[in-house]
């Protein structure tokens, strides 16, 4: 059995290199190695139950949302069915878990903090939850989160925007006074006024009955086709995806929707899987998106609203996270089960650089000798406010934080 596993991994590595070399239309990809051990990177242990120290419990530590504020990494998790998710903080300087909060103490009947975190005014951040499937008709809740100087977590429940619906994606506008989101399973678009709690819902991007029936033929459920992330351009327009394989933008002033002429980049036969996995915006306002269906990176011009396909960083589907480092490079996580995730970078002048499956040294009480921890299944990432660190969160039963120190340009 061990030999079979080793042989399988060797075949996987060879296939990865070969397929990357022959993907039509793909920008130049430089593959360093299957395993990437960056200098000055490190891992923070948050869920190994090997000491009496503060840790997240098993099956409740799959990291599905991340943001970095100053020294603190703030994370939200997804739990196994019947268990509750957590919000936690960890310190980049101390390289340790600081505080954890069981969401069952704030909102019962929830399973995941899946929406990502978004920034409001006065250092307040916001997130949305997904209800536990076994909790009846409970909906997801909006959360207002504050982090004190010691990393303590303070959460206020803002209620359920749409009854019976979870919060699948969430965005704060540039003013920090309004939230926009996508609900699950219906795919409603909603806005939330932070100042007065007013909620508006829109049906414009909800898939039609015919579209749902088509998606069912491909055995797809809402988790497979609903938009996973939203982004706002400098003019205030909000962008996302809608079935089947379409992009939309929302005008907040007129509260109107517009479907873009260009669809998401697609490979023949995979259009049904097309949806936004992730977005990132450069300091100059350039918008980059990741398509889940075939793991393609694209650029969206906010002035012309035209889409330019930039290709695939690796052979796998999914681009689960995108963010910029201090050197101006775009970093991302590509791939998903059954394959391994890879860290990659992108520059317009140089194309992709596949950094491989990242491995970081993890040193903690009880494992002073260190462990070379490999990020086989990374679900989300975020950059520090100064762009010095790229923080990655695993989404497995036993998940850790992996921190990549961004090199100079």
Query: Closest by alpha carbon to 274, among 290, 293, 289?
Result: 293
Per-residue pLDDT at 270 = 84
Torsion sign (Cα): 191, 393, 89, 94: negative
SS3 278: strand
> Rounded to 5 degrees, what are φ and ψ at 265?
-55, 135
Would you state the pLDDT for residue 198? Answer: 96
Neighbours of 143 (CB within 10 A): 26
- The residues of the chain scoring below 50 in pLDDT are 1-26, 28
Beta carbons within 8 Å of 130's beta carbon, 6+ residues apart = 78, 110, 111, 112, 113, 114, 140, 166, 167, 168, 184
210 three-state secondary structure: helix
pLDDT, residue 10, reads 32
Q: CA-CA distance, 385 to 388, in Å (whole number)? A: 8
Rounded Cα gap, residues 166 and 168, in angstroms:
6
DSSP H helices in 22-115: none
Q: Is 389 exposed, middle or buried (0-12, 13-18, 19+ CB in 10 A)?
A: buried
Q: Which CATH class is domain 2-405?
A: mainly beta
Per-residue pLDDT, 12: 34
pLDDT of residue 240: 98
**Residue 267: per-residue pLDDT:** 82
Quote the pTM value: 0.89
Q: Is the Cα dihedral 161, 162, 163, 166 positive or negative?
A: negative
Under 8 Å between Cβ of 64 and 113? yes
pLDDT at 236: 95
Mean pLDDT taken over the chain? 89
């Amino acid at each position: 059995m061990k030999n079979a596993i080793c042989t399988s991994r060797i075949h996987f590595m060879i296939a990865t290199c070969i397929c990357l070399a022959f993907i039509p239309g793909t920008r130049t990809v430089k593959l360093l190695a299957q395993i990437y051990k960056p200098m000055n990177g490190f891992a923070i242990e948050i869920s190994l139950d090997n000491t009496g120290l503060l840790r997240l419990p098993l099956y409740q530590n799959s990291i599905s949302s991340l943001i970095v504020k100053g020294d603190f990494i703030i994370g939200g998790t997804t739990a196994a069915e019947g268990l509750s998710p957590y919000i936690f903080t960890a310190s980049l300087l101390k390289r340790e878990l600081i505080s954890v909060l069981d969401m069952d103490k704030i909102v019962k009947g929830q399973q995941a903090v899946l929406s990502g975190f978004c920034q409001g005014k006065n250092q307040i951040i916001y997130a949305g939850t997904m209800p536990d499937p076994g909790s009846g008709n409970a909906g997801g809740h909006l959360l207002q989160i504050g982090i004190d100087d010691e990393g303590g977590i303070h959460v206020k429940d803002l209620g359920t925007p749409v009854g019976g619906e979870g919060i699948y994606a969430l965005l704060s506008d540039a003013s920090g006074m309004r939230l926009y989101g996508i609900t699950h399973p219906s795919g409603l678009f909603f806005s939330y006024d932070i100042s007065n709690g007013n909620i508006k819902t829109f049906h414009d991007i909800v898939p039609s009955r015919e579209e749902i029936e088509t998606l069912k033929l491909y055995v797809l459920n809402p988790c497979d086709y609903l938009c996973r992330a939203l982004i706002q351009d400098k003019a205030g327009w909000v962008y996302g995806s809608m079935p089947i394989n379409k992009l939309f933008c929302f005008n907040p002033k007129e509260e109107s929707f517009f479907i873009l002429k260009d669809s998401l980049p697609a490979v023949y036969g995979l259009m049904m899987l097309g949806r936004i996995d992730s977005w990132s915006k450069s300091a100059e306002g350039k918008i980059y998106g990741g398509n889940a269906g075939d793991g393609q990176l694209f650029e969206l011009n906010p002035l012309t609203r035209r889409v330019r396909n930039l290709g695939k960083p690796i052979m796998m589907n999914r681009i689960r996270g995108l963010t910029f480092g201090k050197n101006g490079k775009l970093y991302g996580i590509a791939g998903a089960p059954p394959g391994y995730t890879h860290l990659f970078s992108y520059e317009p002048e140089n194309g992709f650089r596949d950094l491989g499956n990242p491995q970081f040294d993890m040193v903690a009480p009880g494992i002073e000798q260190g462990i070379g921890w490999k990020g086989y299944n990374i679900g989300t990432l975020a950059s520090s406010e100064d762009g010095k660190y790229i923080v990655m969160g695993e989404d497995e039963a036993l998940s850790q934080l992996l921190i990549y120190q961004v090199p100079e340009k």
